[in-house]
Structure 1
Amino acid sequence: MISTKSVRTEVLATLAAGAMAATGALLVPATAQATTTAATSATKVYDALKPGQVLRAGQFIRSTNGQYTFVMQTDGNAVLYKGKSALWSTATNRKGAVVVMQKNGNLEVVVGRTAIWQSNTGTSPNARLVVQNDSNLVIYNTRNKPNWSRYMVVQVLGAGRLLQTPQYLTSLNRVYRLQMQTDGNLVLVKNGKTPLWSTKTQSKGAFAVMQTDGNLVVYSAAKVPLWSSKTTRKGSALVLQNTGDVQIMVGRTVVWHTSTAGR
């Protein structure tokens, strides 16, 4: 049995800390709304962050239709807005942070020389980040093919991070996806069509959390636990390997896995 008391306490703490990066709880300070509308008529606003370019506190890029803005806030959180409504964020909260579109194709939130969030797409030199008119935030390679979007988490779901419909965790080789379905089931899929493993949960609005206590939990929309990996190793991360195995790891130690490698 899942410990309802412990997991409820954990998820409430996680949500309060602003880990729900696909909802309005995005570590947004009261001054952020003013920041996103601070462009002047004398300043040209771009819709893309090119290789090597940086967004510092208060700087932003905006979709060509003017509806969506990606801003580096003064609190260290990078947030995508529609008007005054937050759609997505890096869920970072470190003053002095900047957004960097690295020349190797990796998008990072950096404090000093330390990346505190990254897209894990550093194998595509000269890629660019674009704020699209359809509300998506996308990294395109030099062949104009998408490498990453705001609905995608590449390889590693870190502690305190969530997966909510239509978000998914993908392997680096893009063969496998761990996706949160609209019916509330967390499913591992190969090549977009072959299911290999699932939590067998059914509850509309459900979401998955890689908790800071090391437990992977699927919750209902009402934050009732539906399934758990029953692991308790602080510092754990959820990793989707190129072999198709989903693993909870502490450093290089595997503490739980789906036993789906090679399938």
Structure 2
Amino acid sequence: MSRNYLSKEDELRKGDFLQSNNKQWKAIFQDDGNFVIYGWKPVWSADTNSSTAHRLVMQDDCNLVMYKQDGNPMWQTNTHNPNGGMCQLKLTDDGTLVVQNKTADTWSSKSSKGIKFLN
């Protein structure tokens, strides 16, 4: 069963994906380590293709973070909120990934590629 969101502490591993409710869009954590939104063709990517990418986690602090196999972070949405609260990553029916809390979108793939960590 496919879903269109990640809640706190949910994660994607290589090959996993989110699918919009209208089934027109997929956000795939590809085997090459890149996180990509597809319609008929790719429309957005995190530019993280790397064999060291291992998992993509919606953390308890509302930050979406991609981790390497060694446990070090390599990419993030920079949406950490020390107060926590409700939040999720959602793939919308227009093909946009958003990190949202109770009242607003705090990050959108329409305006950001996220932030790579310099290691």
TM-score range, shorter-chain basis? 0.7 to 0.9
After TM superposition, the structure 1 = structure 2 runs for residues 104-119 of structure 1, keeping only pairs within 5 Å, are: 104-111=61-68, 112-119=70-77
Decide which of 77, 81, 93 is 2:49's aligned counterpart.
93
Partner of 2:26: 69
Partner residue in 1 for 2:88 = 128
Alpha-carbon distance in 1 for matches of 2:92, 2:42: 15
Residue 81 of structure 1 is aligned with which of 38, 50, 63? 38
* Contact 2:64 2:76 survives alignment (8 Å): yes
Higher strand share: 2
For structure 2, list consecutive stretches of 5 or more residues without a partner in the other structure: none
Match of 1:146 in 2: 105
Which amino acid letter does the alignment assign opposite residue 152 of structure 1? S
Partner in structure 1 of residue 12 of structure 2:
55
Structure-2 residue corresponding to 1:198? none
1:61 and 1:158, CA in 2 relative to 1: closer, same or farther beyond 3 A?
Answer: closer
Larger Rg: 1 or 2?
1
Amino acid of the residue matched to residue 53 of structure 1? D
Q: Across the two proteins, how many residue pairs are aligned to each other?
A: 114
Return the offset for 1:51.
0.5
What is the Cα-based RMSD across aligned positions, in Å?
A: 2.2
Runs of 4+ in 1 over 4 A off after TM superposition: 156-159
Q: Which has the higher contact order (CA 8 A, sep 6+)?
A: 2
In the TM superposition, what are the counterparts of 1:159-170 in structure 2 within 5 Å?
none
User: Deviations along 1:96-143, whole A, 9 cap, x unmatched?
Assistant: 4211111100011111321111000011624100000011111111x1
Per-residue displacement from partner, 1:204-245 (whole Å, max 9, x unpaired)?
Answer: xxxxxxxxxxxxxxxxxxxxxxxxxxxxxxx8xxxxxxxxxx
Q: Taking structure 1 as reference, are residues 51 and 158 closer, same or farther at Cα in structure 2, changes over 3 Å only? A: closer
Partners of 1:157 and 1:128 in 2: how far apart?
Answer: 18
Asked if structure 1 preserves the Cα contact closer than 8 Å seen for 2:75 and 2:116, the reply is: no
Question: Distance between the aligned counterparts of 2:96 and 2:29, measured in 1?
Answer: 17
SS at match of 2:67: strand
Matching residue's letter, 2:110: Y
TM-score, structure 1 as length reference: 0.40
Flag structure 1 segments of 5+ consecutive residues without an equivalent.
1-43, 160-234, 236-263
